[in-house]
Amino acid sequence: MAQPRPVDAARAGIARAVRHRRAIGTAAGSVLTLVVLAQTWNIDDTWVDAVPSVEHLVGSCHAFRTDSERYALSDVSPTVQCDRTHQTETVAVRELTGPFAVRGTRLSPEERLRFNNELCGDLDVRGYLGAGPRDDYRFVGVVLRLPTEDEWRRGIRSYRCELTAEDEDPASPPAMDETLHDILARPSGDRFRRCWADAEVQVRCTQPHRSESVNATVPLPDQYAGPVNDLSEERRAALNAVAAPLCEPFVAEFLGRATGDTPYQPVAHPTADGRAVECGVGLPPDQPPVTGSLARSAQGAKR
């Protein structure tokens, strides 16, 4: 049998070495590929220090920076002190019952909006805000928070209703730095009161305005009801003359004294259908617009 030539053996050795190096390179490349691809999946550390849904209490305040947090189905972030900047406040913690409780899947984002009124609509928001019979509040929204998907699978059905200030400036999220509980009794509650800058434009009472709502709507006599588009000054004055006596008792109750004892006067703002007026307390014609609730200015510090 012929012996392999030394040259052939050397070539075979070189070829083995080359294959060996390529194998190492390929193995290293394969491992590197797997390590790089593994970065696609992130270790989720968002549940560290999360507060379970069942542990949130009425009166707790919640701070969010992004819209995704504000509108998320659930919230398990730690609460903040209500004297720190926050966006929502829990006003009710309840338990889902009936068909909602037996659902295998959690409500979708659209279902949450659809059932918001059903699940949180009976909240005594007025009572929580400290509104009296003649206090009209606006610009406060209600947010329904559900359990997380994992909590839902585990059978947790508690939910909470939160109050949030509605956007004043679309560029920045609404923020509060005190509790909403009895806020209408405080000057800081003026941002939630409804006022009018003129005959038609509604504003917050923290903005310049000429009249403030007294939370009363009175029907107009049939002969005065009608379309309210492009009301002339004469018609508006006529409506005011008819409605002022009807609104007087409500305005007096709002001010805490007879209207005649104040510089203010009843003002009528027709409703959209023209069949009624919303009563307001207005400034004298020669007074420039003011900011802040007129009730405090009428009664001093006492409400």
Partner 1 sequence: MRETVATTISGVLAVLRPVTSWMRRNKTATALLVGLAWGVLTAVRMLWPPAVGLADSGDGLRLMCQLGVAPGGQGTASPGAFWEPFWPDYRYFGEACGVPGTGETYASSELILLRAAEWLGVLFGPSGGFDLRFLALVCALLVGAGVALWMLALPPSVSLPMRLLIACVVGLIMVDSGIARFYASPYSEPAALLGVMLLCPALLWLLRQRRYTWGALVAVAGLGAFVMLARTQMVSVLPVLCAVLLLRPSVPARWRGTGSWWRLRLPALGLAGALVVLAAVHLASQPKRYTEVSAYGELFDMILPLSQDPAGDLAWFDLDPSLAQGSGTTINSPDSVVYEPSYAGFADRVTPARIGLFYLTHPSRLGRLADTGMRGMASYNTETYLASYSADSGMPAFTTDSRVPVVTWVFSIYRDVPALVMLHWLAVLALFLYVTFGARRTGGHRPLGLLGLVLVAMLTIQFWTALLTGGAHEISRNMVVTDLLLFLTVPVVIGVLAHRGHIRKEEQAEPSVSVS
The H-assigned helical ranges of the chain are: 6-38, 67-70, 99-102, 109-114, 116-120, 125-129, 149-153, 233-255, 294-299
Of 146, 148, 180, the residue nearest 164 (C-alpha): 180
Residue 149 as a binder of partner 1 (CB under 8 A): the answer is: yes
Least distance CB 260 / partner 1 (angstroms): 48
* DSSP 8-state code for residue 101: H
Residue 72 as a binder of partner 1 (CB under 8 A): the answer is: yes
Q: Which stretch binds partner 1 (CB under 8 A): 73-81, 190-198, 211-219, 268-276?
A: 73-81
Q: Which of residues 172-211 bind partner 1 (CB under 8 A)?
A: 172-173
Size of the site for partner 1 (CB under 8 A): 43
26 or 287: CB nearest partner 1:
26
107 or 246: CB nearest partner 1:
107
Residue 71 as a binder of partner 1 (CB under 8 A): the answer is: yes
Residue 116 as a binder of partner 1 (CB under 8 A): the answer is: no
* DSSP 8-state code for residue 66: S
Q: How many residues does the chain have?
A: 303
* DSSP 8-state code for residue 205: T
Q: Which of 61, 73, 244, 252 binds partner 1 (CB under 8 A)?
A: 73
Residue 66 as a binder of partner 1 (CB under 8 A): the answer is: yes
Of 237, 255, 245, 63, the residue nearest 165 (C-alpha): 63
Q: How far is CA 264 from CA 76, 260, 280, 297, in A?
A: 48, 8, 10, 11
Residue 97 as a binder of partner 1 (CB under 8 A): the answer is: no
Q: Which of 60, 88, 90, 148 binds partner 1 (CB under 8 A)?
A: 148
100 or 224: CB nearest partner 1:
100
Q: What is the Cα–Cα distance from 78 to 278, expressed in whole angstroms?
A: 42
Q: Are 206 and 191 in contact (CB under 8 A)?
A: yes
Q: Which of residues 227-286 bind partner 1 (CB under 8 A)?
A: none
Residue 78 as a binder of partner 1 (CB under 8 A): the answer is: yes
Q: Which of 41, 99, 155, 288 binds partner 1 (CB under 8 A)?
A: 41
Residue 279 half-sphere exposure, CB side, CA atoms within 13 Å? 27
Residue 26 as a binder of partner 1 (CB under 8 A): the answer is: yes
Locus of tokens 């038609």: 200
Taking phi over 0 as left and psi of -120 to 50 as alpha, with beta for the rest, 98 belongs to left
Which residues bind to partner 1, rule: CB under 8 A?
Answer: 22-23, 25-26, 29-30, 33, 36-37, 39-42, 44, 46-47, 49-51, 64-69, 71-78, 108-110, 113-114, 148-149, 171-173
